[in-house]
Amino acid sequence: MAKSLIIVESPAKAKTIAKYLGRSYQVVASVGHVKDLPKSKIGVDVNNDFEPTYVVIRGKAAVLKEIKAKAKTAEKVYLATDPDREGEAVAGHIAEELRGLKTGQVFRVLFNEITKLSIKKALESPGNIDKQKVNAQQARRVLDRVVGYHLSPLLWEKVRRGLSGGRVQSVVVRLICEREREREAFQIKEYWTIATMLKGAQEAPFFAKLHSVNGKSVEIGKPGEITTGEQAAGIVEALKTKQLVVSDIEQKERKNNPLPPFITSRLQQDASRRLRFSPKQTMMFAQQLYAGVNIGEEGPVGLITYMRTDSTRIAGEATAEVRTLISEKFGPEYVPGKAPIYKTQKAAQEAHEAIRPTSVTRTPETLKEVLSPEHYRLYELIWKRFVASQMMPARLAITCVDITAGEYLFRATGTQVIFAGHRQVYQEGKDSDPQGTIHSRTDDAAENILPALAIDDQLRVDGEGFSPKQHFTQPPPRYTEATLIRDLEDKGIGRPSTYASVVSAVQDRGYVKKEEGRLYPEEVGTIVNDQLVKFFPSVLDVAFTATMEEKLDQIEEGNCEWVETVREFYQPFAAQLEVAREKMPNVKREEVATDISCEKCGALMVIKWGRFGRFLACPSYPECKSTKEFKENASGGIAVLEKPEITTNEACEQCGSAMVVKTGRFGQFMACTAYPKCKTTKAIGIGVKCPESECGGDIVKKRSKKGGRTFYGCNRYPKCGFLSWFLPVNKPCPSCGAAFLIEKARKQVGPQVVCRDTDCGYAEPDT
């Protein structure tokens, strides 16, 4: 009997499934989509019900040829591409290619997890391709192509070559730009707090904070707020004569319920907070854990369920397994009488499950030695969240003590854990504050252990007395990747499967930059956003974009027709496009006059727009090529940024003039002082000699022409072709004697100094 053929997307998944099924099945990978809209033209007939034209993706002809050849000899063909819209589209395109070869013998199967049991169960009850799901994906693809194909050339013409616009991408940039404008418009306000450490009859001091004066709350924005240092000092002085007395004690117990198991967006957020993974990294590692990673003698094993999901549903057998583990590992008192069931988003596909381990008995500890650090840490996060989701709530005792000092009321709050419950395993990560750091917990209720107190107890100040502290209100924090994804999810923009790629794309395309974990709009991002918001208000409207996502869900559910949905979007977009082509200003050609004189010819310089943003240029170009960088203050004034020149002892190799250190767009370099007569420049060495024999050159920092990636090469190029993508460290290898070591960045521990000879293997211990 001929073998059955299973077609999946991932080569790793193919390897894992083949191990489970043995020789009676052939398993091949399509490696993602095999067909798509053409790159050279729009590929959508807007005048004929938006009929798409799909072509075989470049490089995928050989893959399709292999699939067809194996399908001819197979008894049955199972399309086991990913269980989502994109996977359904891949299955649909492959089925079209096989049409006529295997009539009636092509089936659709869904693997929510790559385990032997789930694979065999799926093969026992195969189904057909979900046309509604294919239509939903096709609608999204056509919408994105229509927007991108028309917006991108417009931006090339009006702003800068190489730019692109996208239906969801542009809305993401808008959110980041609007947050930046909120910050710029924010009015900082001063306020003060007053705190102290108090003691009663017992020796243990505790923390208390001024809560109100004459019954008016002192919180910022409240009637009794403290807005000046003088006001705070006056209160402190008055308190010195007051007796502190316990006036009220309130004690109550609070339940802290566990969080549901991960869905895609929440996994990306928590991995960003806890592991410092970008959404793109999180999805890459999760994909590998799902498809199968090698865990030693067992070979490749799928460790988690499918990682693109909106559903918090858990299979019954998984629930039973985790409840047994909790009872054995933590005790029966940690197992709820009834397994928790969590609400799922309206649009979630209930056929999917939450992200969970395929077997909870594979604890992180048992896999630590066989997984990479990245895979281990992500698996541990998923495992802990899943286990905690099925545990008892934590019980907390909260005590609130009011202390009266005349007209002043202090409040102390303390929390004690009565029963840890799910907190024994997992607590959600916290978002950082506007400066990018986690708030200090010195005055957190959870850290404030209160002694036994009674009403009318007299207290005294311990230590340094009353401490007034100045604060300033903070503007809305810039987005992190985690908080941006949370906002996209809350607003209904995009879907979990798109978050990672969109957040990555706006950075890769230069609209947004990430510094110290925060997202800032680049100047080009702000300019493009302003133009698109003005001329394409519906495309950039957050609510409209969310509505379109709902329409795509309705198409998948069979409640909406895909052609009508696309037409509803396209007609107003096409009208806005015509207006934009005529009236959108050409930023590339705009010149804004200034009162700054050109230092070379005296003409008043103008602001122009270039590849790297705005700059000052002489209007007499090309006769005068003088340019300057500038900064703009809050009131719109212009200030020239002078580039510092640092003298050196080196002479120009061409003319003998002195060389100076200048700062350019790619950092510092040496230049001849006889410029423009002599245009000699020289890269600055990093203090490491070239290792090539008889070269004697110096290693310098360089930047690749394609992609702008930093590398290190010999300053005698092209005579010497030495190149390193890693920073050389001026220290010989103590193991093999190599001329220098290199610095490699490791995701988990940061930079590590190692030998450049991989056969040597020397690595300095982490510090």
pLDDT at position 697 is 86
pLDDT value at residue 749: 46
Residues of the chain where predicted confidence (pLDDT) is lower than 50: 1, 433-446, 747-749, 766-767
The whole-angstrom separation of Cα 28 and Cα 660 is 60
Q: Output the CA–CA distances (angstroms, integers) from residue 476 to 283, 541, 542, in the order listed.
A: 28, 21, 19
- Could you give the CA distance from residue 113 to residue 105 in angstroms, rounded to a whole number? 24
What are the tens digits of pLDDT across the range 493-529?
988 888 999 999 999 888 999 888 899 999 899 999 9
CA–CA separation, 92 and 88 (whole Å):
6
- As a CATH number, domain 264-392 is 1.10.290.10
**607: how many CB neighbours lie within 10 A of its CB?**
17
Name the amino acid, one letter, at 286. Answer: A
d(CA 199, CA 205): 5
Active site residues: 306
SS3 439: coil
Kindly tell me the burial class for residue 253, based on how many C-beta atoms sit within 10 Å of its own C-beta (0-12, 13-18, 19 or more).
Answer: exposed
Q: Nearest-5° angle of CA 51, CA 55, CA 58?
A: 150
> Are 471 and 190 in contact, with CB atoms under 8 Å apart?
yes
For the chain, domain boundaries: 4-129, 138-186+477-583, 190-257+395-472, 264-392, 592-641
Write down the architecture of domain 190-257+395-472 according to CATH.
Distorted Sandwich (2.70)
Separation in Å, CA 405 to CA 244, 399, 460:
5, 20, 11
Structure tokens at 317: 């057998």
Per residue in 8-61, pLDDT tens? 999 999 999 999 998 889 999 999 999 999 998 999 999 999 999 999 999 999
The Cα 720–Cα 692 span in angstroms is 8
Architecture of domain 138-186+477-583: Orthogonal Bundle (1.10)
Say which amino acid occupies 601. Answer: C
What is the four-CA torsion angle of 455, 456, 458, 461, rounded to 10 degrees?
50
Q: Which residues of 713-751 are buried (b: 16+ CB within 10 A; e: fewer)?
A: bbbbeeebebebebbbbeeebeeeebebbbeeeeeeeee
Please state, in angstroms and rounded to a whole number, the distance separating the CA atoms of residues 160 and 262: 41
- In three-state form (DSSP H/G/I as H, E/B as E, the rest C), the secondary structure along 688-715 is EECCCCCCCCEEEEEECCCCCCEEEEEC
Cβ–Cβ < 8 Å for 108, 30: no
Q: Determine the pLDDT at residue 760.
A: 77
Domain 4-129 of CATH type 3.40.50.300: no
Q: What is the pLDDT of residue 439?
A: 34
List the alpha helices (DSSP H) in 372-513.
373-389, 481-491, 496-508
- Structure confidence at residue 434 (pLDDT): 41
Q: Which tokens sit at 267?
A: 């996994």
Question: Which tokens sit at 643?
Answer: 């580039």
Give the pair of three-digit tokens for residue 157: 């013409």
- Report the candidate in 588, 594, 644, 649 with the shortest Cα–Cα distance to residue 619: 594
